[in-house]
Amino acid sequence: MESIIELKNINFNYQPEDADPALKDVSFSIKKGEWVAIIGHNGSGKSTLAKTINGLLLPASGQISVGGKELNEENVWDIRRMVGMVFQNPDNQFVGSTVEDDVAFGLENQGVPRNEMVIRVTDALKKVRMDHLATREPARLSGGQKQRVAIAGVVALRPDIIILDEATSMLDPEGREEVISTIQEIKAESNLTVISITHDIDEAANANRILVMRQGQLVDEGTPEKIFSAGTELIEMGLDLPFPEKLKIALKERGIDVPQEYLTEERMVEWLWTSVLNK
């Protein structure tokens, strides 16, 4: 499979004199259609990395290519068009007074003709299952619905890559699930490449691969199974541990043998029932 994103030895400083750069020698590649989660503590460089991928920030050194094009001042606009971003705060993402106006905004900016625009807006709202609320005021939507509209705004622009920068972090569990399943559906239809920056282990579990950032460096990468087997170290990697993992740690501290692998709540109940409570 071809890579759609390639970073080679990226360094980035917000201030030229910064002793501690925000990104230090970061290299990786992402294949077309892959879902990659990026985890790491606050301040580890995740958002900076996302912004270098779509050319919002230009690295001090290193090479970036997106869709086979080297990112430079000449084609930064073409690349920005390939990469859609959804940010953390659902309330900061609206410019339109209705849901459909909001989704149309990016298309208007790109000078898409009106009849084409109408088709794309309707199509994007259907994809995020918000077409029934097209004339609603964005302010009156739930957090999950707002983020789905933000996703529709990006999808309408037909990007090859979507970056979710903690796009689910302000949502309740239901809203998170709405957003993630929406992305999964769109991805299944269009071979979208997804980068999701997250502290949520369930969101990271959806990825084909997880990249771990620490202090501006890429310090680990692997499948969710591999990364999640790190147990308590996951907290050091910036992930919020779900209840079954917290319970595992507490049981281990009390001398009980617990399974190494990551357990869902359902499997934890099953394991407790069959191995611990029956003894």
Query: Which residues contact ligand ADP (rule: CB under 6 A)?
Result: 14, 22, 40, 42-48
The two structure tokens encoding residue 173: 């569990």
Q: In this structure, which amino acid lies at residue 156? A: A
Per CB under 5 A, which region of 12-20, 38-46, 99-107, 134-142 contacts Mg ion?
38-46
Least separation in angstroms between residue 106's CB and ligand ADP is 23
- Minimum distance, C-beta of residue 166 to Mg ion, in the bound complex (Å): 6
Strand 193-197's sheet: what is its strand order? 83-86, 161-165, 193-197, 35-39, 209-214, 217-222
Q: Which ranges constitute the DSSP H helices of the chain?
A: 46-53, 76-82, 99-109, 114-127, 143-155, 173-190, 201-205, 224-228, 233-236, 243-253, 265-271
Contacts of 191 (CB under 8 A, 6+ apart): 32, 33
Nearest distance from C-beta of residue 20 to ligand ADP, angstroms: 7
CB-nearer residue toward ligand ADP: 40 or 159: 40
Which does residue 86 bind out of ligand ADP, Mg ion, none, counting CB within 5 to 8 angstroms by kind? none
> Which is nearer to Mg ion, 46 or 80 (by Cβ)?
46
Q: Smallest distance from the beta carbon of 47 to Mg ion, in angstroms?
A: 3
| DSSP string covering 53-77 | HTTSS--SEEEEEETTEE-STTTHH
For residues 196 and 161, the answer to whether their CB atoms sit within 8 Å is no
The residue (of 45 and 84) whose beta carbon lies closer to ligand ADP is 45
The half-sphere exposure of 103 on its side-chain side, counting CA atoms within 13 A, is 31
Residue among 260, 265, 264 nearest 249 (CA): 260
Question: What is the 8-class DSSP label of residue 131?
Answer: G
Question: Which of Mg ion, ligand ADP, none does 199 bind, CB closer than 5 to 8 A by kind?
Answer: none
Per partner kind, with CB cut-offs from 5 to 8 A, the member of Mg ion, ligand ADP, none near residue 168 is none
As a whole number of angstroms, the distance between CA 208 and CA 194 comes to: 10
Q: Does 44 bind Mg ion (CB under 5 A)?
A: no
Asked if residue 47 binds Mg ion (CB under 5 A), the reply is: yes
- Residue 278's binding partner among Mg ion, ligand ADP, none (Cβ under 5 to 8 angstroms by kind) is none
Residue with tokens 């990006």: 154
Give the residue with the Cβ less far from Mg ion, 15 or 42. 42
Residues in contact with Mg ion, counted by CB under 5 A, come to a total of: 2
Q: Which does 206 bind (CB under 5 to 8 A by kind): Mg ion, ligand ADP, none?
A: none
Q: Which does 44 bind (CB under 5 to 8 A by kind): Mg ion, ligand ADP, none?
A: ligand ADP
Q: Given the rule CB under 5 A, which residues bind Mg ion?
A: 46-47
